[in-house]
Structure 1
Amino acid sequence: MWDRPEPPPRPAPLDRGRIVAAAIALADVGGLEAVSLRKVAARLDAGPMRLYGYISTKEELFDLMVDEIHAEILPEEQPADWREVLRIRAHRTRQAALRHEWLADLLGGRPTLGPNALAVTEATLAALDGLTDLDTVRHAVETVSAYSTGAIRREIANLRAERATGLSKREWQPASGPHLRKMLATGRFPALSKAVYDGAEVEAEESFATGLEWVLDAVAAKLARPPA
């Protein structure tokens, strides 16, 4: 779709950039379910059929939206250290998802092939180029991406649950406490009981950062081994 020429301009200005911006604005407020070509057209004060000259399906629109957000993920300056490149990419992806929660629903699927997404991938692979064989590099990037995607989705799910129930995490825990204490008192869950009563409370950002460093440690250990 990025290679497809746009239709000639008409009296009411319209282009893919404006269409994508309108779709992102709708999704930021109401999620992906709030995005349709009809609603995007209405926001742009255009007829829905005009959008089909630029975008064929809603799935194409989603791809364009994800690629637009990748421009927020790619840092202006590329660090020299591969670990810092992967760390920054993970944190910037998380920050983008917190600004655009719908992004969490589209992470982890088939890669988008837009210019911004390709630039992020290029920068990531370039940071690891020459350190080891290509297959190990690919698995290293996929491993870090899998961790960050899973952690981001969990955090966004918790935020949505807070809005749905009207209870923050700190409010939900006391509300569910009586049931949990009753279940733990049965003695059937000793490991869980120890985690609940003795474990430290960790905020989402700290949890994400800690888990990311553990994954990066594992990747570093793998990269340090000579090829088999």
Structure 2
Amino acid sequence: MTNAGAQRRAARAVWERPEPIPRPNPPPICRDAITRAAIVLADREGLNAVSLRKVAASLDTGAMRLYSYIATKAELLETMVDAVYGEMDTAVLGPGWRAGLAGSAHRLRQAVLAHPWLVSLLGARPNLGPHALAQTEAVFATLGPIPIETAMDAVRTVQAYVIGALRTEVSERRAEAESGLDTAAWQAMAAPYIQRMIATGQYPNIARIVAGASLPGMAEIFERGLDCVLDGIGQRLALP
């Protein structure tokens, strides 16, 4: 392909480019099969393990053949994210702004717990695949006819909280897997040191936390934080 032809091809989003005509030999593949193979690889080995070469090997084909369907690793990651958005059910979004935003938050948490690598691909530029656009459309539909800037402020605020909370949760799960210690066991191990530091009298608020704080699970922590964010949005933006 000439440079001009390659530039014209790259100018079109991966979602808009037609796939090559399938050939009977070697066995046909498609963009969805490539994407699904990459997701399986990422779920099993992590995002750093994903490459067009490894995906091609899992499909028993050559990496060069995949370039007819997906031009770069960046495009592959985009299709992976969009495929996960396609797994989310927009029907879980309840009526009204609060139920809609809460539903979108819970839906994204479920997706990240199923595919932990996903959280590292969120929070930068918006995902523009057809499934991601459908999810965004569904969320904004629950906000009703409020000014679009108000709606965007609400969605961005919830998204920022959710992505931050999920990165913390994924990191905690990774730490548990790598250390063999769950949160309670890790806290028990650190307790003697913390008690010695509290005894110095320099950490009165740490003492209050140790003495009075409960140890909720990650799901409860997520829910409490989300309620705080939604309460603030309702008050700050005067949403009904």
Q: TM-score, normalised by structure 2?
A: 0.90
Query: Does structure 1 retain, via aligned residues, the 8 Å contact 2:100–2:143?
Result: no
Alignment of structure 1 residues 147-166 onto 2, 5 Å: 147-166=161-180
Q: Offset of 1:225 from its aligned partner?
A: 6.7
Q: Offset of 1:223 from its aligned partner?
A: 3.3
User: Counterpart of 1:3 in structure 2: which amino acid?
Assistant: E
Counterpart CA distance in 2 for 1:157 and 1:77 is: 27
Q: Offset of 1:77 from its aligned partner?
A: 5.8
**Secondary structure, counterpart of 1:187 in structure 2:** coil
Alignment of structure 1 residues 97-108 onto 2, 5 Å: 97-108=112-123
User: 180, 194, 198: which is aligned to 1:184?
Assistant: 198
Identify unmatched segments of 5+ residues in structure 2.
1-13
Tell me, yes or no, if structure 1 residue 23 matches structure 2 residue 38. yes
**Secondary structure, counterpart of 2:91 in structure 1:** coil
Tell me, yes or no, if structure 1 residue 40 matches structure 2 residue 51. no
Query: Does structure 1 retain, via aligned residues, the 8 Å contact 2:56–2:66?
Result: yes
User: 65, 77, 86: which is aligned to 1:71?
Assistant: 86
Query: Does structure 2 retain, via aligned residues, the 8 Å contact 1:73–1:89?
Result: no
Alignment of structure 1 residues 94-133 onto 2, 5 Å: 94-131=109-146, 133=147
User: 15, 19, 23: which is aligned to 1:2?
Assistant: 15
**Partner in structure 1 of residue 182 of structure 2:** 168
Q: Offset of 1:137 from its aligned partner?
A: 1.0
Counterpart CA distance in 2 for 1:188 and 1:23 is: 51
Query: Does structure 1 retain, via aligned residues, the 8 Å contact 2:20–2:69?
Result: yes
Mean CA deviation greater in 161-170 or 15-24? 161-170
Counterpart CA distance in 1 for 2:121 and 2:190 is: 31
Q: Offset of 1:35 from its aligned partner?
A: 0.6
Q: Offset of 1:78 from its aligned partner?
A: 4.7
> Sequence identity of aligned pairs in percent?
48
Tell me, yes or no, if structure 1 residue 81 matches structure 2 residue 65. no
User: Counterpart of 2:171 in structure 1: which amino acid?
Assistant: A
Counterpart CA distance in 2 for 1:150 and 1:36 is: 26
| RMSD across aligned positions (CA) | 1.5
Query: Does structure 2 retain, via aligned residues, the 8 Å contact 1:74–1:89?
Result: no
**Secondary structure, counterpart of 2:68 in structure 1:** coil
Give CA deviations for 1:79-129 in whole Å, capped at 9, x if unaligned: 322211111110010011001010111111111110000001111112213
Give CA deviations for 1:171-208 in whole Å, capped at 9, x if unaligned: 11111222222222211111011112211111110111
Runs of 4+ in 1 over 6 A off after TM superposition: none
User: Counterpart of 1:55 in structure 2: which amino acid?
Assistant: I
Query: Does structure 2 retain, via aligned residues, the 8 Å contact 1:42–1:48?
Result: yes
User: Counterpart of 1:102 in structure 2: which amino acid?
Assistant: W
How many positions carry a matched residue from both structures? 225
**Partner in structure 2 of residue 53 of structure 1:** 68
Tell me, yes or no, if structure 1 residue 143 matches structure 2 residue 157. yes
Give CA deviations for 1:150-175 in whole Å, capped at 9, x if unaligned: 11110000000111111111111111
Query: Does structure 2 retain, via aligned residues, the 8 Å contact 1:97–1:103?
Result: yes
